[in-house]
Amino acid sequence: MENTLILVALNEEQISQAKVVNGQRKKITHALLCGSYGQIFGTEKQCSKYYNVWEDIFKDLFFESKTVQACDVLHYESTFDLVNILIAASDEKKQIDNRLQPTTSQKPQKAEKKGFWARIFG
């Protein structure tokens, strides 16, 4: 679950636990679990909206994305500012990937190819 984006439908017990932590007035039916980055709780519409967008935008952070009907939830508190946490992690990962890729000055230079006539006449 470390690098998996999971949209999960909560059962009644999970809904009641999430409401205790996040507030009784909140409409909670689903959760979006973002691995070690955190989670959010809300309605199916709210969670699926984030799931569909984050699945594409943050595909470099998550090994896989899936929708399930049942899943164990360890923490029932919604992660504050989760989108900014994901943006920071994505930017950091892109910077690391950019450092690992050779730049144009580090790439070996190809020898200039001479044309047919240049090879004949020098």
User: pLDDT of 90-120, one tens digit each?
Assistant: 999 888 877 777 655 556 667 777 777 777 7
Q: State the pTM of this model.
A: 0.77
Q: Which two tokens stand for residue 104?
A: 């144009």
Domain hosting 14: range is: 4-90
50, 34 Cβ separation under 8 angstroms: no
Gap between the Cα atoms of 115 and 112, Å rounded: 10
54 in a structural domain: yes
106 in a structural domain: no
pLDDT for the residue numbered 118: 78
55 in a structural domain: yes
6, 39 Cβ separation under 8 angstroms: no
43 in a structural domain: yes
13 in a structural domain: yes
92, 33 Cβ separation under 8 angstroms: no
84 in a structural domain: yes
Q: Is 29 exposed, middle or buried (0-12, 13-18, 19+ CB in 10 A)?
A: middle
pLDDT for the residue numbered 49: 96
Q: Which of 10-14, 26-30, 40-44, 108-112 has the lowest mean pLDDT?
A: 108-112
**Element (DSSP H or E) covering residue 39:** strand 39-42
97 in a structural domain: no
Q: Structurally, how many domains does the chain consist of? A: 1
pLDDT for the residue numbered 103: 59
Residue 6: helix, strand or coil by DSSP?
strand
Gap between the Cα atoms of 23 and 69, Å rounded: 23
104 in a structural domain: no
pLDDT for the residue numbered 96: 85
